[in-house]
């Protein structure tokens, strides 16, 4: 397999100008680009760096890019993905309302609900912690378990945002896809917490 030096990566993945060492270091910090053990890069790294750079034209936030570009063919360290989600949580506007809308979207897709029901408030999901505890929830479970749950949430978010029924319902309208991934991950981790707690009490 052909490999490249860091300078060659900077040149190949750059646009009109080579990437900077600072860009590469920042991308590595958030798991957007791997840290090569031997200091050599591959064509997969070049392709990944180009995707990161291109997405930067639409999404400036590095943590949000790390979430959006989650890809099994170019694994992200779960610990770095976790930190990216923790960084995004405080920047989500109207997070509680968005979590409610996500619940509606899930019901539309999996239960056949037609859409949001005006004038009727959904009963509280008692297992879901308050917003102040969401970053704490994201720190629970080990890296391996977190990686599996976050990967499943990423796949679910893609399915939800492309579902014709969900699109027609408008439940997720205006919610960025990376936020859908974060909210889904929080829900799944909280469900896991509640299951373990119930098992411990029985």
Binned at pLDDT 50, 70 and 90, residue 199 comes out as very low
Binned at pLDDT 50, 70 and 90, residue 196 comes out as very low
Q: What is the DSSP letter of 39?
A: S
Q: What is the DSSP letter of 3?
A: -
Q: Tell me the pTM.
A: 0.88
Domain borders along the chain are 1-58, 89-201
30 neighbors 83 (Cβ within 8 angstroms): yes
What pLDDT, on the 0 to 100 scale, is given for residue 120?
A: 57
User: How many Å apart are CA 135 and CA 158, to the nearest integer?
Assistant: 23
Mean pLDDT of 94-113: 90
Picking from 140, 143, 154, the residue whose alpha carbon sits closest to that of residue 191 is 140
User: How many Å apart are CA 75 and CA 85, to the nearest integer?
Assistant: 16
């Amino acid at each position: 397999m052909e490999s490249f030096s860091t300078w060659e990566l900077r040149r190949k993945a750059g646009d009109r100008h080579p990437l900077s060492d600072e860009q590469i270091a920042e991308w590595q910090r958030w798991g957007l680009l791997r840290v090569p053990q031997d200091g050599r890069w591959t064509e997969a790294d070049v392709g990944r760096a180009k995707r990161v750079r291109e997405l930067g034209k639409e999404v400036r936030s590095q943590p949000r890019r790390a979430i959006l570009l989650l890809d099994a063919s170019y694994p992200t360290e779960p610990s770095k993905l976790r930190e990216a989600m923790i960084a995004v949580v405080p920047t989500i506007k109207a997070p509680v309302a968005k979590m409610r809308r996500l619940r509606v979207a899930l019901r539309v897709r999996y239960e056949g609900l037609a859409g949001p029901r005006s004038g009727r408030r959904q009963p509280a999901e008692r297992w879901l912690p308050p917003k102040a505890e969401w970053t704490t929830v994201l720190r629970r479970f080990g890296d391996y378990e977190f990686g599996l749950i976050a990967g499943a949430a990423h796949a679910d978010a893609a399915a939800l945002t492309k579902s014709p029924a969900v699109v027609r319902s408008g439940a997720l309208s205006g919610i960025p896809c990376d936020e859908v991934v974060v909210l889904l991950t929080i829900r799944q981790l909280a469900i896991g917490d509640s299951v373990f707690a119930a098992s411990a009490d029985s």
